[in-house]
């Protein structure tokens, strides 16, 4: 119940303000005294600081600490006005009463809502000519996701957030109003208390493999995970160009502004807050696997094959051999085999069900804060510890934050904050990786017990995954037993991070404020992992030590002038300077081939190699922000920023970014003022130009330490047997680089009806991106494979609608319903001359591409040959494919991975101290490649392959290929065939099937959050206890989707541009959270 | 007033600090040099060539030539000739042209500017080798107009295969001249991983390659091709020590491509029963080093029990042979046979077989005696079949098959084409980014220029 907490502070602040600022005089003689008590309609608590005045006069007082007021009023006074910030003003007729008790209701939708805008400037929302959406601390902490990004999911219109997996510490990917860069980052800038912070996702693995490392390895974190959500006061999402223009070249993808909690004036008394929760996590959805057929091929049992096309388990028995390495019951044989023991029927093991555990996440944050007129402070310590749904998978984060502020004399205020975070955990191998957990788990035959009789506890027992001689126990030699992977192929990361800033504010006169802020965000990310000897991914073993270091320094100097120049005409001018530097260094060391087993150290490897990468760039900028307002009705904002970046050519490194925005509150017009139906109406329009800077070192042609790869295996790298070697970089540099530019236009309207009971906020935007940098792929015969160019153009047009309704609002019960609707239509207008396709990532036969004329992120795949009417061609030529659809290896577009629209619907009920809220997340459109299913069909472990051997006549027309061309007379197919092993391995599944059949819709309706809370504070009425809220939250409790696999909120390549891949991804979770928040 | 002064001071300070803050040297790449010496270019060209010729291209060609079989996934597709334009992108764009030919071209240019013909000669031989491999697989390919990306020309016209062959021969002849030069400012040494800077061996290689590529033109030129080859052979290799080969290292990232493939793509490839049957028919001792057993999988059969690749070709440091004394001898055998010099053909055949057995470390005098050829038994088919048995995982086998029709191969079970392919499809990247220049209307069964019907 943090809005109550907020209210509590507001009450206190207002009280102080009232005492010090307003001098309300009570003078008159012909008076009578009215007394009364003012209480909150929400929880019945007393409200101090409420202004009580006689309507039409300057007479008034304020309520005391107990909510009690006394006011002498003239005998002829008619009406008393009760007003308080954040609550609905009430008018009460005096009549002859001498005691008037009032219950005041919280004004949920406040017209005078303030929001944090660019550079951390707090503005009244009504003064803005562009859309900004704020999410408060309560909503952020509701789901206890531990990651501020996931907490924003479905709560902000125009924002799309995808968490990559349900594994502990997995990353989340966020875009605001679609993509703005083709191959550069599409992630918004994260700013915490004025300091841009790093939200990158660094991957490990041999850097020579580049982005291929994202399809295997482990799931990494995006660095915003380091923030403690309990420290956050609010998150403000700046979506359009005009909102972010002051950030210039860093803001092309929008800005997420995070404001953390500060100490407040509590007259020296200390406030204590404790937030504590436990989350119980379970897998929410898994691919369906068969439990009918044994390992084997052609209906015969075999253990030297990865396939599950063996006999029916019901036709099999164990032979009872006690020395079997396969099963505790002996070797599997056919029931007709002489060695078969009739009573030992063959088991279908639930390897998948046995493997996943119930995960837990413990969240605890203790915060102390306080202050007086001179100084204030905030100290918190928080810890999150997750034990994942996959055994041995952990993530832990400890955060310590200290911030304080003090007045140095009457004109200078100094403040500072430092946040230390340690985060990391044990991660597990995933994805396209023969040691990947899901790969070995789902491909595994149901006739083989991964746990070797230990069931759910398989991961605890070495004999489940290892034979006494140290070799691996697994169903088939090419893939790891998942229990082996979680025990033997550990990968650990540990981040130590400090985010700090110092600020001085000098206020020489009432109108002028000079502020300087210096901030730094640095971390080391130390990673260490290994593959034990006999691991599928590195049979001789491999050691990886990967160290990352990042440091971002930011300096801001601003001068602000704010004055009412003439009556009703106010100017607010900010000019300033910004300097920024970021530095990144990686040292990756890999050792191969362990000499001694079970000793994981570089010194124990037969060969080692090292890769070093350093990157650094700086920007400098001068900016100005000019805000003019007239009569609280018309607001004009103009900003300009001139910026220099070291990543640009020296001759052309200065760029100017302007913006203008206009807000018109037409309900302030005399004709509309005080309208009963339309209580508030605003129109806004804005225009801005912003940019994304190119990455460093993109100008020159260079030589690189030589690497050789054929795309099938790791390849070779230099030094080779001690000989150094270089090759010219296969990407050409460009001496004419410019920043990527974004022209952003936005119009909107904000309307409130019936005393703010209904609020509607509508935004339409049109963003035109040009000069987008792409490593334009070029024909290899030029000697190079790409050239970096300002080439592409793209647009995003969209609509954001936020509706909030308060259907019920009584003394005890308040029901608010809010929805946010997002529709973004992205279109890549052009790439580069001669280039109409750029691959973001993929596998043979399936890619996510950027294609001119299509939305960003189109799935391209192989498919079936079809005739002009779209009928699948069924092979009528004799041979293995007779009667089966014919595979067409040409890659064709199937549509975009981006949703057509999304809708978040939130319901909040508060009844006395009880709160009930639920958040629905609805997504329509968006494709994903279900690569897991494609493979499982081929391996014969997919549930769908249980129909093997059944007769089928495939839908389509008969035809065949002659010299690469389809020949078909168009006759409807009538060839009866069967769902054969051949079909599932080559056409309807397998390593390179017709992939189009596995590109699936990811529409969903999910109950993302359901929270029930109870404010015990008002019940217990203990003097020292301000609030005690207990709550239970369900996260992801219900999901409805046509996607035939794990929860489609997933992505193999994490927080990268290549979205829409599911290839043995880790499943997602559903959770029950129980917690309390205590304020003393 | 005070504020004004402070503001002016601050502004001046900021502007001056800004210009030094935006220091252009910050954008100088600290990770990569802008230029390197010739010595650093040679080794990567050699490693890349051996990696692709002995890896990806060998797996494709010798899958089709039924030395090996694909058991699953893309390798199983390869077995039945189901190859897509995307499958050959890597070999073309990320091996042969770049880093292969572009760095070879840079090496050739640096050799001229630094007056170092000894580097120049090696570079020309390597370029000729790249061109030979590329044109034999694809037919017409870009060269005279290619490799000019750095000067902004990113779409290259294709040269006919005939023109490429002319270029190959002139590069090789020029290389011989360069290598014979008495002066060279810079001289190749240990960084030449193949010969350690031994110019005499490079010269022999130039002659050996002339012989190989002259022989390729046999269908077009008839007897001239054979006599040209025999002429060149006079100066080519004289023993196995001369072989153009690259030994991979014992570090994983310096390891043999077949080894890496079998490590990371376990169960993809294995012995082909066709090849196994040929080897077992004579109890050939090379079987033991070619494969780790004697079970084969017929093309398209995907027999998962088939034996894996053997110790001489799939060990971490296995050697990749690019040109060999054995091949030279089989070229001599074929050319002599076709020009009716039977005694020379017999001698060359037996020398080739002996060379192969020695190279594989399995020479056995008794076995050799029973399996050597005589004037009575020699045929063209036997020469090519023995060359095929002596050329495990050599892409040359595919060229020989296209030229001579030997060995006699049956179409794979479940083949998606009506005959065994006679060329690779052009890569996807060429169609997408250089489509206007790329020859159109070809299928994998279309013939290249020298493969006259």
Chain segment B96-106, per-residue pLDDT in tens: 999 999 999 99
| pLDDT, mean of residues A843-866 | 92
Instruction: Please determine, for residue A781, whether its predicted confidence score (pLDDT) is greater than 90.
Output: yes
Band (B309; pLDDT cuts 50, 70, 90): very high
Residue A543 contacts B where some CB pair is shorter than 8 Å: no
| pLDDT, mean of residues A605-619 | 92
Band (A541; pLDDT cuts 50, 70, 90): very high
Q: Per DSSP, what are the bridge partners of residue A782?
A: none
Which helix (H) or strand (E) is A918 found in, with range?
A: strand A914-924
Nearest CA in chain B to A613: B31
Instruction: Please determine, for residue A444, whether its predicted confidence score (pLDDT) is greater than 70.
Output: yes
Instruction: Please determine, for residue A835, whether its predicted confidence score (pLDDT) is greater than 80.
Output: no
Measured between beta carbons, the chain A residues lying within 8 angstroms of B415 are 879
| pLDDT, mean of residues A381-410 | 94
Q: Is residue B9 a part of any domain in this protein? A: no
Band (A9; pLDDT cuts 50, 70, 90): very low
- What is the reported pLDDT for B11? 62
Contact at CB, B22 and A964, closer than 8 angstroms: no
Instruction: Please determine, for residue A29, whether its predicted confidence score (pLDDT) is greater than 90.
Output: no
User: In chain A, what percentage of residues exceed pLDDT 90?
Assistant: 61
Q: Which DSSP category does A736 fall into?
A: T
Note the ipTM here: 0.92
| pLDDT, mean of residues A328-353 | 94
E-strand ranges in A298-374 read 300-301, 316-318, 332-334, 359-371
Of A74-83, B324-333, B369-378, the range with the lowest mean pLDDT is A74-83
Q: Where are the alpha helices (DSSP H) in B256-341?
A: 257-264, 273-281, 287-290, 311-314, 325-338
Nearest CA in chain A to B192: A723
Specify the CATH number for the domain of residue B161.
Answer: 1.25.40.390
- What is the reported pLDDT for A160? 83
- A563/chain B closest Cα distance in angstroms: 17
Measured between beta carbons, the chain B residues lying within 8 angstroms of A837 are 432
Instruction: Please determine, for residue A207, whether its predicted confidence score (pLDDT) is greater than 80.
Output: no
Chain A / chain B CB contacts < 8 angstroms: 317
Measured between beta carbons, the chain A residues lying within 8 angstroms of B29 are 696-697, 700, 702
pLDDT tens digit sequence for B67-98: 999 998 889 999 999 999 989 999 999 999 99
Instruction: Please determine, for residue A109, whether its predicted confidence score (pLDDT) is greater than 60.
Output: no
Measured between beta carbons, the chain B residues lying within 8 angstroms of A645 are 22
Band (A40; pLDDT cuts 50, 70, 90): confident
For residue A881, the SS3 value is: coil
Of A482-496, A777-791, A1020-1034, the range with the lowest mean pLDDT is A1020-1034
Residue A964 contacts B where some CB pair is shorter than 8 Å: yes
Do A1003 and A925 contact (CB within 8 A), yes or no?
A: yes
- What is the reported pLDDT for A1062? 92
Residue A81: left (phi > 0), alpha (psi -120 to 50), or beta? Answer: beta
Instruction: Please determine, for residue A1021, whether its predicted confidence score (pLDDT) is greater than 70.
Output: no
- What is the reported pLDDT for B7? 61
Measured between beta carbons, the chain A residues lying within 8 angstroms of B308 are none
pLDDT tens digit sequence for A476-530: 988 999 999 999 998 999 999 999 999 999 999 999 999 999 999 999 999 999 9
Contact at CB, B74 and A991, closer than 8 angstroms: yes
A749: burial class by Cβ within 10 Å (0-12, 13-18, 19+)?
A: middle
Instruction: Please state the separation of Cα A463 from the chain's center in Å.
Output: 39
Nearest CA in chain A to B54: A710
Nearest to A307 by CA among A1063, A991, A993: A991
Contact at CB, A697 and B141, closer than 8 angstroms: no
CA-CA distance, A73 to A90, in Å (whole number)? 17
Residue A620 contacts B where some CB pair is shorter than 8 Å: yes
Nearest to A930 by CA among A944, A917, A920, A919: A944
Nearest to B137 by CA among B397, B387, B424: B424
Contact at CB, B43 and A699, closer than 8 angstroms: no
Six-digit token string for B79: 């077995």
| pLDDT, mean of residues B298-306 | 92
Q: Which DSSP category does B86 fall into?
A: G
- How do beta strands A172-176 and A887-896 pair? unpaired
Which B residues 230-249 touch A at CB under 8 Å? 248-249
pLDDT: which is higher, A774 or B239:
B239
- B45/chain A closest Cα distance in angstroms: 8
Nearest CA in chain B to A934: B73
- What is the reported pLDDT for A256? 92
Residue A477 contacts B where some CB pair is shorter than 8 Å: yes
| pLDDT, mean of residues A77-84 | 83
Residue B196 contacts A where some CB pair is shorter than 8 Å: no
- What is the reported pLDDT for A3? 37
Nearest to B21 among A614, A618, A990 (CB): A618
Look-up: residue for tokens 């080519």?
Answer: B236
CA-CA distance, A596 to A605, in Å (whole number)? 8
Residue A651 contacts B where some CB pair is shorter than 8 Å: no
Instruction: Please determine, for residue A8, whether its predicted confidence score (pLDDT) is greater than 60.
Output: no
Contact at CB, A697 and B31, closer than 8 angstroms: yes
Band (B15; pLDDT cuts 50, 70, 90): low
- What is the reported pLDDT for A149? 81
- What is the reported pLDDT for A834? 66
- Concatenated DSSP letters of A775-818: EEE--GGGT-SEEEEEEEEEEEEEEEEEEEEEEEE-SSEEEEEE
Measured between beta carbons, the chain B residues lying within 8 angstroms of A963 are 418, 443, 445
Instruction: Please determine, for residue A86, whether its predicted confidence score (pLDDT) is greater than 80.
Output: no
Band (B3; pLDDT cuts 50, 70, 90): low
Of A138-152, A276-290, A428-442, A1005-1019, the range with the lowest mean pLDDT is A138-152
- Concatenated DSSP letters of A165-218: -SSTT--EEEEESS---SSS--SPEEEETTEEE-------S-GGGGGGGGTSSB
Nearest CA in chain A to B260: A713
| pLDDT, mean of residues A259-285 | 88
- What is the reported pLDDT for B14? 63
Residue A875 contacts B where some CB pair is shorter than 8 Å: no
Instruction: Please determine, for residue B235, whether its predicted confidence score (pLDDT) is greater than 60.
Output: yes
Nearest to A732 among B150, B304, B443 (CB): B150
pLDDT tens digit sequence for A158-199: 888 877 777 888 888 888 988 888 888 888 999 999 899 999
Contact at CB, B252 and A644, closer than 8 angstroms: no
- What is the reported pLDDT for A143? 66
- What is the reported pLDDT for B187? 96
Mutate which: A588, A779, A831, vs B, most B CBs within 10 A: A779
- How do beta strands A1069-1079 and A654-665 pair? unpaired
pLDDT tens digit sequence for A667-701: 999 888 888 899 999 999 999 998 888 889 988 88
Mutate which: B28, B251, B295, B301, vs A, most A CBs within 10 A: B251
Instruction: Please determine, for residue A429, whether its predicted confidence score (pLDDT) is greater than 50.
Output: yes
Is cis: bond before B282, omega within 30 of 0? no
Q: Per DSSP, what are the bridge partners of residue A1004?
A: A923
Instruction: Please determine, for residue A12, whether its predicted confidence score (pLDDT) is greater than 70.
Output: no
User: In chain B, what percentage of residues exceed pLDDT 90?
Assistant: 87
CATH number, span A192-266+273-281+359-444+479-699+734-857+897-926+1003-1079: 2.40.170.20
Measured between beta carbons, the chain B residues lying within 8 angstroms of A714 are 252-253, 260, 264
Contact at CB, A723 and B156, closer than 8 angstroms: no
Six-digit token string for A977: 């065939």
Residue B264 contacts A where some CB pair is shorter than 8 Å: yes
Which A residues 141-160 touch B at CB under 8 Å? none
Nearest CA in chain A to B261: A713
Range of the structural domain that residue B186 is part of: 38-258+280-297+321-414
Do B404 and B337 contact (CB within 8 A), yes or no?
A: no
Total domains in the fold of chain B: 1
Length of chain B: 453
Contact at CB, A701 and B84, closer than 8 angstroms: no
Contact at CB, B93 and A780, closer than 8 angstroms: yes
Q: Per DSSP, what are the bridge partners of residue A793?
A: A830
Six-digit token string for B174: 């020029």
B429: burial class by Cβ within 10 Å (0-12, 13-18, 19+)?
A: buried
Contact at CB, A787 and B47, closer than 8 angstroms: no
Measured between beta carbons, the chain B residues lying within 8 angstroms of A206 are 253
Mutate which: B4, B7, B31, vs A, most A CBs within 10 A: B31
Residue A717 contacts B where some CB pair is shorter than 8 Å: yes
Structural domain boundaries in chain A: 2-104, 192-266+273-281+359-444+479-699+734-857+897-926+1003-1079
Of A680-694, A868-882, A1014-1028, the range with the lowest mean pLDDT is A1014-1028
Dihedral sign of CA atoms A485, A490, A493, A494 in order: positive
Residue A704 contacts B where some CB pair is shorter than 8 Å: yes
* pLDDT, averaged across chain A: 88
Band (A14; pLDDT cuts 50, 70, 90): very low
pLDDT: which is higher, B266 or B137:
B137
Which A residues 348-387 touch B at CB under 8 Å? none
In chain A, the largest separation of any two C-alpha atoms, in whole Å, equals 116
Contact at CB, B10 and A557, closer than 8 angstroms: yes
Which A residues 546-575 touch B at CB under 8 Å? 557, 559
pLDDT: which is higher, A816 or A788:
A816
Architecture per CATH, A2-104: Sandwich (2.60)
- A200/chain B closest Cα distance in angstroms: 20
Nearest CA in chain A to B252: A592
Which A residues 833-852 touch B at CB under 8 Å? 834-837, 844-845
């Amino acid at each position: 119940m943090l809005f109550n907490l907020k209210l509590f502070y507001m009450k206190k602040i207002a009280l102080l303000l009232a005492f010090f600022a307003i001098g309300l005089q009570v003078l008159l003689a012909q008076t009578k005294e009215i007394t009364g008590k003012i209480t909150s309609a929400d929880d019945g608590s007393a409200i101090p600081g409420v202004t009580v005045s006689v309507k039409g006069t300057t007479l008034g007082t304020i309520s005391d600490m107990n909510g009690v007021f006394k006011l002498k009023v003239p005998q002829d006074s008619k009406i008393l006005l009760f007003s308080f910030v954040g609550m609905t003003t009430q008018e009460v007729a005096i009549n002859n009463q001498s005691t008037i008790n009032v219950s005041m209701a919280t004004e949920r939708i406040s017209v005078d809502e303030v929001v944090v805008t660019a550079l951390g400037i707090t503005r009244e929302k009504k003064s803005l000519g562009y859309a900004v959406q704020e999410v408060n601390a309560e909503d952020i902490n509701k789901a206890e996701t531990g990651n501020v990004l996931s907490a924003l999911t479905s709560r902000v219109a125009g924002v799309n957030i995808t968490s990559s997996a349900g594994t502990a510490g997995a990353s989340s990917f966020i875009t605001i109003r679609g993509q703005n860069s083709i191959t550069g980052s599409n992630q918004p800038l994260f700013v915490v208390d004025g300091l841009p912070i790093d939200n990158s996702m660094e991957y490990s693995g041999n850097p020579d493999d580049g982005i291929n490392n994202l399809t295997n390895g482990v799931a990494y974190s995006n660095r915003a995970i380091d923030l403690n959500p309990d420290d956050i006061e609010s998150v403000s999402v700046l979506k359009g160009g005009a909102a972010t223009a002051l950030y210039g070249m860093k803001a092309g993808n929008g800005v997420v502004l995070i404001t953390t909690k500060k100490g407040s004036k509590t007259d020296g008394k200390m406030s204590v807050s404790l937030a504590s929760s436990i989350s119980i996590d379970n897998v929410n959805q898994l691919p369906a696997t068969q439990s009918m057929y044994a390992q084997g091929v052609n209906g015969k049992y075999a253990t030297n094959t990865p396939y599950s096309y063996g006999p029916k388990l019901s036709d099999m028995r164990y032979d009872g051999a006690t020395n079997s390495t396969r099963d505790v019951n002996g070797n599997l044989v056919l029931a007709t085999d002489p060695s078969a023991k009739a009573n030992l029927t063959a088991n279908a093991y639930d390897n998948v069900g046995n493997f996943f555990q119930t995960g837990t996440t413990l969240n605890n944050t203790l915060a102390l804060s306080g202050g007086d007129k001179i100084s204030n402070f905030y100290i918190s310590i928080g810890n999150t510890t997750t034990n994942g749904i996959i055994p041995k998978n952990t993530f832990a984060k400890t955060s310590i934050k200290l911030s304080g502020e003090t007045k140095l004399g009457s004109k200078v205020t100094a403040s500072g904050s430092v946040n230390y975070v340690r985060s990391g955990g044990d991660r597990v191998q995933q994805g396209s990786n023969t040691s990947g957990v899901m790969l070995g788990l789902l491909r595994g035959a149901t006739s083989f017990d991964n746990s070797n009789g230990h069931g759910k506890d398989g991961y605890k027992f070495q004999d489940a995954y290892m034979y006494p001689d140290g070799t691996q126990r697994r169903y088939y030699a090419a893939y790891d037993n998942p229990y082996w992977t979680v025990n033997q192929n550990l990968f650990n990361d540990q981040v130590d991070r400090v985010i700090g800033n110092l600020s001085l504010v000098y206020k020489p006169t009432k109108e002028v404020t000079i502020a300087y802020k210096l901030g730094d965000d640095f971390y080391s990310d130390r990673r260490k992992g290994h593959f034990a000897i006999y691991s599928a991914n590195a049979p001789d073993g491999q050691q990886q030590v990967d160290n990352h270091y990042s440091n971002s320094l930011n300096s801001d100097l601003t001068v602000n002038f704010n004055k009412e120049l003439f009556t009703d005409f106010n100017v607010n001018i900010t000019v300033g300077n910004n300097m920024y530097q970021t530095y990144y260094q990686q040292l990756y060391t890999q050792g191969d081939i362990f000499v001694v087993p079970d000793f994981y150290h570089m010194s124990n490897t037969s060969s080692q190699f090292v890769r070093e990468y350093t990157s650094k760039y700086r920007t400098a900028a001068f900016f100005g922000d000019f805000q003019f307002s007239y009569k609280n009705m018309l607001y004009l904002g103009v900003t300009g920023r001139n910026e220099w970046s070291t990543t640009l050519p020296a001759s052309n490194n200065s760029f100017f970014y302007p913006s203008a925005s206009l807000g018109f509150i037409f309900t302030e017009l005399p004709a509309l003022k005080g309208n009963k139906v339309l209580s508030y109406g605003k129109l806004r329009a804005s225009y801005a130009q912003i940019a994304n800077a190119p990455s460093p070192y993109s100008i020159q042609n260079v030589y690189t330490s030589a690497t050789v790869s054929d795309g099938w295996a790791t390849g070779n790298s230099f030094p080779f047997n001690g000989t150094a070697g270089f090759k010219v970089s296969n990407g050409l540099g460009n001496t004419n680089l410019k920043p990527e530019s974004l022209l952003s236009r936005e119009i909107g309207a904000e309307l409130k009806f019936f005393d703010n009971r209904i609020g509607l906020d509508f935004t339409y935007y049109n963003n035109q991106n040009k000069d987008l940098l792409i490593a334009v792929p070029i024909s290899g015969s030029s000697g190079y494979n790409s050239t970096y160019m300002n080439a592409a153009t793209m647009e995003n047009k969209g609509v954001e609608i936020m509706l909030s309704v308060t259907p019920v609002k009584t003394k005890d019960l308040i029901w608010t319903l809010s929805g946010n609707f997002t529709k973004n239509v992205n279109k890549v207008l052009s790439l580069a001359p001669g280039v109409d396709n750029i691959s973001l990532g993929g596998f043979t036969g399936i890619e996510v591409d950027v294609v001119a004329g299509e939305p960003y992120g189109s799935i391209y795949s192989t498919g079936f040959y079809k005739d002009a009417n779209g009928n699948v061609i069924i092979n009528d030529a004799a041979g293995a494919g007779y009667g089966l659809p014919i595979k067409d290896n040409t890659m064709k577009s199937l549509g975009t991975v981006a949703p057509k629209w999304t809708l978040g619907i939130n319901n909040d009920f508060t009844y006395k101290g009880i709160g009930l809220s639920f958040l629905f997340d609805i997504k329509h459109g968006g494709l994903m490649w279900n690569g897991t299913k494609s493979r499982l069909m081929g391996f014969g472990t997919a549930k769908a392959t249980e129909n093997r051997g059944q007769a089928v006549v495939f839908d389509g027309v008969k035809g065949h290929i002659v010299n690469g061309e389809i020949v078909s007379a168009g006759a409807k197919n009538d060839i009866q065939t069967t769902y054969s092993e051949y079909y599932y391995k080559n056409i309807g599944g397998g390593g390179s099937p017709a992939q189009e059949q596995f590109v699936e819709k990811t529409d969903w309706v999910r109950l993302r959050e359901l929270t029930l809370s109870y404010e015990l504070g008002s019940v217990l009425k203990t003097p020292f206890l301000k609030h005690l809220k207990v709550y239970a939250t369900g996260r992801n409790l219900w999901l409805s989707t046509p996607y035939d696999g794990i929860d489609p909120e997933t992505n193999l390549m994490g927080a990268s541009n290549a979205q829409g891949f599911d290839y043995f991804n880790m499943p997602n979770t559903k959770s029950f959270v129980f917690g309390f928040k205590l304020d003393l | 007033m005070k504020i004004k002064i402070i503001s002016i001071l601050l502004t001046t300070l900021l502007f001056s600090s800004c210009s030094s803050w935006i220091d252009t040297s910050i954008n100088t790449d600290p990770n990569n040099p802008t230029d390197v010496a010739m010595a650093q270019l040679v080794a990567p060209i050699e490693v890349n060539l051996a990696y692709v010729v002995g890896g990806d291209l060998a797996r494709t060609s010798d899958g089709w030539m039924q030395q090996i079989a694909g058991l699953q996934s893309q390798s199983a597709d390869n077995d039945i000739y189901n190859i897509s334009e995307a499958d050959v992108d890597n070999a073309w764009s990320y091996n042969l042209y770049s880093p292969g030919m572009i760095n070879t071209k840079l090496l050739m240019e640096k050799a001229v500017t630094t007056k170092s013909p000894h580097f120049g000669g090696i570079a020309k031989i390597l370029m000729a080798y790249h061109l030979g491999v590329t044109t034999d697989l694809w037919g017409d390919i870009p060269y005279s107009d290619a490799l000019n990306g750095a000067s902004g020309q990113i779409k290259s016209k294709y040269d006919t295969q005939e023109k490429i062959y002319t270029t190959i021969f002139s590069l090789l002849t020029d290389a011989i001249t360069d290598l014979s030069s008495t002066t060279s400012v810079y001289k190749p040494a240990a960084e030449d991983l193949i010969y350690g800077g031994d110019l005499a061996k490079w010269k022999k290689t130039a002659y050996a390659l002339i012989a190989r590529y002259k022989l390729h033109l046999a269908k077009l030129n008839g007897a001239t091709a054979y006599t040209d080859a025999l002429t060149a052979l006079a100066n080519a290799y004289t023993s196995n020590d001369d072989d153009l080969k690259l030994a991979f290292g014992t570090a994983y990232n310096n390891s043999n491509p077949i080894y890496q493939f079998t490590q990371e793509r376990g169960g993809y490839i294995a012995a082909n029963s066709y090849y196994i049957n040929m080897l077992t028919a004579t109890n050939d001792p090379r079987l033991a080093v070619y494969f780790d057993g004697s079970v084969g999988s017929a093309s398209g059969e995907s027999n998962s029990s088939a034996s894996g690749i053997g110790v001489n070709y799939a060990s971490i440091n296995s050697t990749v042979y690019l040109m060999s004394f054995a091949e030279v001898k089989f070229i001599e055998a074929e050319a002599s046979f076709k020009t009716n010099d039977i005694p020379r053909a017999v001698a060359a055949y037996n020398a080739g077989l002996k060379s192969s057995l020695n190279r594989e470390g399995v020479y056995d005098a008794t076995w050799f005696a029973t399996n050597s050829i005589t004037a009575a038994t020699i045929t063209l088919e036997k020469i090519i079949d023995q060359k095929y048995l002596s050329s495990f995982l050599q892409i040359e086998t595919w060229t020989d098959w296209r030229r001579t029709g030997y060995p006699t191969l049956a179409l794979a079970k479940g083949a998606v084409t009506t005959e065994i392919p006679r060329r690779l499809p052009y890569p996807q990247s060429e169609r997408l980014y250089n489509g206007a220049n790329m020859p159109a209307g070809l299928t994998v069964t279309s013939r290249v220029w020298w493969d006259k019907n």
